[in-house]
Structures are given as structure tokens and as C-alpha cells.
Structure 1
Amino acid sequence: MNWQVNFALKNIWEVHGTASAQHLRDDAIRIRMPDRADVVAVISAAYTINAELAMQHHADFPDMDFLCGYRKQCVWEGGAIRYLEGKPIGWGSAGTLGSAIYGGDVKTAAHKDYFFSYRLIKQIRSVTNLDREFDRVFTMTLASGRTFRVGMMMEYEPTADAIRTFWDRFGPVNIVWNINPNGHPTRNAIEAGRALGCEVMKWEELSVLLRNR
């Protein structure tokens, strides 16, 4: 049994008291909840989940309900997200899977770190087009015709190093949006962003930009 499957099973038994889980084969587990349909989840240890990997897991497990990127560092490419949401198959972190088990929306669940922020952007009338490149990066086109590449950063207090690391990993962005509702980017982070050519901001600042552009 792979390490990530072992940890997932242990976590479900210990943390989610009313749920039980068993290993099926390879990276797949079956989760049972009282009075609910069983859930088949594939637990991946990949650092990056792309469309090819998502399709391979689905081919291996046609009844897959959820694909879990178990590593905290796991990054989801846009092609994988579009494939899974088109089935529909839920996707995201171990925490996303845990919440979805109890919420009863496993097949439509999306990564909980970015779900609400991305949904908020989708609801803005001035945003006429969205292209999701990664779980945390999207390009938006506004009614004015202007486009902005936006990176969502979940860190409590993003530092200058966090901004530079994000830039190196995902490429240039126009905006780094600190989506953690409780934190604020450090002054050094804001200055590092400006040095790279991007703005580091919270929702209050981003909402003003969306209204005025």
C-alpha cells in the first residue's frame, strides 16, 4: 500500500468518526458514510496533477468520485481541472475530500483553498472571460478589454520570498491576490511584487480595480 493511501485511510478512521474507509487497489480507497452512497477516491502523491494524469486515474477507476492531491505542495493544472469538472469528479486536497464527505457534494467539490475566491471572481459582471491555468492562477478579461493574469496566494502573511517563489514557479502575473481572509501581505512582499512588475493586494483593493477597469 502506498504511503499516501495509508495516511488517507488512517486520517479518515481517526478524524472522521462516522466515516469508514478501505483500500481497493493501487491508489484507490472506498469511503462509507451512514445513509450515503459510497465514495471512491483516488489518492495521488504527485506534485503536479495534469490532464493526462487525471485521465489515467479515471481510466483505471471509471467509478472514481474524487481525485485527491495528498501532498500539501500539489499543484493542479487547468487542463486537469476542466477534465474532472466536466465528468463531474471532485478534486482537491485531503482537507477538501474530508469536507466533501460530510457535505455530500464529493463529485462537485473543488479545492477548498481556492474555491470561494475563484467563485467570487466568476460572479463579477465586469469579468467577461476566465482562463484557469492552474488551481491558483487565472487570466481574466474585463469588459473594458483589458486582461490581467492573477495568482491566488493562501499564505497568512506573504513574504517577499513567497512572492518571488510564486513568480518563479508560475511565471509573471499582474496581480498577486492574498486570499487568506485573516492575513495581510508584508510590506516587503508588496515591494518585491512592484520590483517584479505586479501588484500584491487583498480583495478590497482588487474589487476596486474590477469596478474601475
Structure 2
Amino acid sequence: MNWQIKFALRNLQDNVKLNSIEHIRDDAIRIKLLDSSEVIVVISASYRITEELVDQYRADFPSMSFICGYRKECIWEGEAIKYAQENQIGWGNAGSLSDAIKSGDFINTEHKVYFFSYRLIRQMNSITNLDREYDRVFRMSLSNGKSYRVGMITDYEPTADVIRTFWDQFGPIDIAWNINPNRRPTQKAIIAGQELGCKVIKWDELKQLMRSS
């Protein structure tokens, strides 16, 4: 039994109400919910979830309802997200899986860290096209013809190093959007963004940019 399966079984048994949970084989588990319905969930230890990996999981477990990227560092590529959604497979992290179990809705569950912020973006009328490149990076085209590549920064109080590291990992972005609602980016983070050529902003500033467009 893989390490992530052991951790997932223990965590779910301790923190979520369900009837039973068992390891099937490889990266898959079977969960019996309180209403006696059963779902197949894949618990992946991959650092990066690609379309090819999701396709392989689907071939191995055709009836799976959810894929969990169990590592905290796990990154989902945009094509993997699109493939999962088109095939009615929920996706996300360990917290997302717990939420899916509590709600009973697996196939519509998305990565909880980015779900609310990305939903805000989807609701903006000024956006004519939206392309999700990674779980935390998207490109948006606005009605005025301008296009922006946006990175969602989750840190409580982003520093200059956070902005530079994100840039190095995901490539150039036009906007570093700090989606954590509790604090603001440091002044050094804003300056680092300016040096790289991107704005480091919060939701109100991003919303104003889109509305003015």
C-alpha cells in the first residue's frame, strides 16, 4: 500500500463521517457513504497531474468519481482539469476530497484552494475568453481586446521571493493576484512584481481593471 493511501485512509477515518473505506489496488480506494452509496477515488502522489495521467487513471478505474492530488505541492495542468471535468470526474486536494464526501457531490467538486476565486472570474461579464493553464494560472481576454496572464497567489502575505518563485515556476505573468483575503502583499512583493513586469494586486484592484476595460 502506497504512503499516500495510508495517510488518506487514516485522515478520512479520523475526520469525515462515512460508512466504510478500503484500499482497492494501486492508487484507488472505495468509499461507502452514509447513504450507502459507493464511490471510487484515486489518491495520487504525483507532483504534477497531467492529462495523460488522468487518462491512465480513467483507463485503470473507469468508474472513479474523484482524483485527489495528495501532495501539498501538487500542480494540476489545465488540460488535466479540462479532461477531468469533461469526463465528470471531480478533482482537487485532500481538503476538496473531504468536502466531496461531506456533500456527496464528487464530480462537481474542484480544488477548494482556487475554487471561489476562479468562480469570481468566471462571473465577470467583461471577460470574452478564459483559458486555464494550471490550477493557479489562467489567461483572460477582455472585451476591449486586451489579454492578461494571471497567477493566483495563495500566501497570507506574499513576499518578493514568493512572486519571483511563482514567476520562475510558471513563467511570465501580467498579474499576480493575491487571493488570500486576510492580508495584503508586502511592498517588496509589489516592487518585485514591477521589476518583473507584472502587477501584484488584490481582488478589488483586479475587478476595477476588468470593469474599466
More displaced stretch, 67-76 vs 184-193 = 184-193
Aligned residues: 213
CA distance in 2, matches of 1:67, 1:169: 23
Q: CA deviation at 1:18?
A: 3.6
Per-residue CA deviations over 1:152-185 (Å, capped at 9, x if unaligned) read: 0111111110100000000000000000111211
Partner residue in 2 for 1:116: 116
Shift of 1:212: 0.6
Corresponding residue of 1:156: 156
Structure-to-structure mapping, 1:38-117, within 5 angstroms: 38-117=38-117
Tell me, yes or no, if structure 1 residue 29 matches structure 2 residue 29: yes
- Tell me which amino acid in the other structure corresponds to 2:155: E
Greater shift, 154-163 or 13-22, is seen at: 13-22
Instruction: Give me the identity figure in percent.
Output: 58
Q: Within 5 Å, which residues of 2 pair with 1:202-213?
A: 202-213=202-213
Give the TM-score of the pair, scaled to structure 2. 0.98
Question: Residue by residue, what CA displacement relative to the aligned partner does 1:68-112 show, whole Å, maximum 9, x if unpaired?
Answer: 000000000001000000011000000000011111211111100
Segments of 5+ residues of structure 1 without an aligned counterpart are none
Q: Distance in 2 between matches of 1:21 and 1:178?
A: 37
Taking the aligned partners of 2:164 and 2:19, their CA distance within structure 1 comes to 41
CA contact 1:42–1:57 (8 Å) conserved in 2: yes
Q: Report the TM-score, using the length of structure 1 for normalisation.
A: 0.98
Per-residue deviation, residues 127-165 of structure 1 (Å, max 9, x unmatched): 000010000000000000100000001111111101000
Are 1:13 and 1:19, in contact at CA under 8 Å, matched by a contact in 2?
A: no
Q: Provide the secondary structure at the position in 1 that maps to 2:23.
A: strand
Tell me, in whole angstroms, the C-alpha distance in 1 between the residues paired with 2:195 and 2:32: 51
Letter aligned with residue 37 of structure 2: A
How is 1:137-152 mapped onto 2 (pairs within 5 angstroms)? 137-152=137-152
